[in-house]
């Protein structure tokens, strides 16, 4: 007996890092808008809770493991037959002097934050190009735009994602496949406790993961190619880009 693919009749979004935080909020937001979410994450219990809330399907696994992206792409396509949008959100952080960063953590961060989304994109984009439609949404960071003290590797991975998005847009122009980049500032999630250092600055103030999720949905459905949240952070981006020496003096003064 033939079985209809998961999410039949609805656009399918594969959301990584969907166990909590931005990923979970994005899955909820997209489900509310009529998308069928496929949920990737490393915490099966949390992932199941998000699946129950959204009506989606949990696909637990570790994208930092060898073969992790390949297995996730295989499972997603086996379930739904297609992926209309890849929301590459999974990532980790660490704060401390680069010279004291554990090498295994450095490798893990580069793999999860950068290599895994590139591999997933490589696996899923060809079918989107063949269909003439689809969207890749990458989660960057303000750290990848201006740099942050004692977050050198994290900032480097997010900067690389931003340039990947910029370069890929040129290649995909005219194919019907869109590339989007969301650039959060500080988001009120467990990210900071997991990295081992609480957030201690007065500014920028944390925004809710739901606000980022709303932005992801807007990027999926609109014409904008990228969005910084909150919007006022575009000012330090511009200062950094146009007067980098001034920005560095200000960054040194205000940490």
Active-site residues: which are they?
154
The residue count of the chain comes to: 255
User: Within 13 Å of residue 94, how many CA atoms lie on the same side as its CB?
Assistant: 21
Residue 134 vs residues 90, 125, 222: alpha-carbon distances, Å: 20, 8, 13
3-state helix, strand, coil split of the chain in percent (to 5) is 55, 15, 35
CA-CA distance, 228 to 235, in Å (whole number)? 10
3-state secondary structure of 225: coil
Q: Residues 19, 43: contact at Cβ < 8 Å?
A: yes
**Judging by beta carbons within 10 Å of its beta carbon (0-12, 13-18, 19+), is residue 43 exposed, middle or buried?**
middle
């Amino acid at each position: 007996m033939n079985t209809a693919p998961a999410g039949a009749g609805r656009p399918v979004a594969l959301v990584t890092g969907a166990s909590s935080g931005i990923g979970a909020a994005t899955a909820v937001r997209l489900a509310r808008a009529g998308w069928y979410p496929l949920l990737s994450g490393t915490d099966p219990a949390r992932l199941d809770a998000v699946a129950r809330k959204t009506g989606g399907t949990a696909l637990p696994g570790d994208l930092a493991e060898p073969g992790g992206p390949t297995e996730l792409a295989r499972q997603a396509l086996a379930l739904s037959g297609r992926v209309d949008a890849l929301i590459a959100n999974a990532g980790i952080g660490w704060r401390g002097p680069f010279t004291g960063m554990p090498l295994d953590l450095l490798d893990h961060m580069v793999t999860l934050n950068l290599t895994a989304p590139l591999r997933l994109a490589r696996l899923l984009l060809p079918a989107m190009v063949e269909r003439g439609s689809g969207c890749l949404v990458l989660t960057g960071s303000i750290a990848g735009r201006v740099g942050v003290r004692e977050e050198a590797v994290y900032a480097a991975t997010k900067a690389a994602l931003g340039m990947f998005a910029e370069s890929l847009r040129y290649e995909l122009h005219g194919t019907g496949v869109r590339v989007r980049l969301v650039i959060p500032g500080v988001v009120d999630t467990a990210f900071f406790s997991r990295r081992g250092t609480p957030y201690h600055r007065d500014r920028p103030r944390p925004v809710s993961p739901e606000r980022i999720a709303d932005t992801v949905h807007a990027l999926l459905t609109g014409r904008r190619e990228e969005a910084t949240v909150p919007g006022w952070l575009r000012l330090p981006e511009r200062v950094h880009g146009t007067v980098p020496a001034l920005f560095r003096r200000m960054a040194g003064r205000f940490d």
